[in-house]
Amino acid sequence: MRMCFENGHNPSKGATGCLSASVSGWLSPALADKQPVAPFSKHVIKYPAGRDGLTLFEVILSLAILGVAAAVIAQAAWSGLENARMAAELVQAELLAENVMAELLSGIRPLESFQESTFEEDDSLEDPRQWLYSIDITPAEIDGMLEARVSVRANNDRPRKVSYSLVRWMLVR
């Protein structure tokens, strides 16, 4: 059996790139006498005037597609980085609010309301002026209880600022 790669299926036309193989064992006897279809035929694109290669239009079109794909990927990466930054800032704001609330509950800070103070006394922060916090102490509807609200927000010029509020109910004795 012969399989030809270029000039069709007829070995008598002087085809190049033909394979000879014994068909015993891997083809049924009914198919052994049939001429096989050449599954390995080459597909060659012929350009006008016999030139091989790409036209200028094809190169420009492929570069435009590559540029659009790169822009989409860059935008997705930037969005992911921005969301990761906001998540990290939100965790930082939550930890700061928890610290202030713990100081209120333990008596380190007095139970007084005030608006927007910085964390100047906190040495663990890189930039204490980056965060502002407020404490709002209001009497609850139930006698002997107070509502303590600690709000922390980022003090920066970003368009989407991070803020976090924590509320606890406290018994007053």
Is residue 10 a part of any domain in this protein? yes
pTM for the full predicted model: 0.59
Q: H or E element: which one contains 153?
A: strand 145-154
**Poorest-pLDDT segment among 19-28, 113-122, 125-134:** 19-28
Considering 74-88, 106-120, 124-138, the range whose residues carry the highest mean pLDDT is 74-88
Q: Strands 131-139 and 114-118: what pairing? A: antiparallel
Q: How do residues 16-72 score in pLDDT, each as one tens digit?
A: 555 554 444 555 555 555 555 555 556 655 556 666 788 899 999 999 999 999 999
What letter does residue 107 receive in the DSSP assignment? T
Domain extent at residue 18: 1-43
Query: Number of structural domains, the chain?
Result: 2
Q: Is residue 50 one of the residues assigned to a domain? A: no
Question: Which H or E element spans position 114?
Answer: strand 114-118
- Tell me: do 63 and 39 sit in the same domain: no
Q: Are residues 100 and 154 in the same domain?
A: yes
The verdict on 26 and 76 lying in the same domain is: no
Residue 4 lies in a domain: yes
Token output for 84: 């990761």
Does residue 61 share a domain with residue 6? no
Q: In whole angstroms, give the CA distance from residue 50 to residue 75.
A: 42
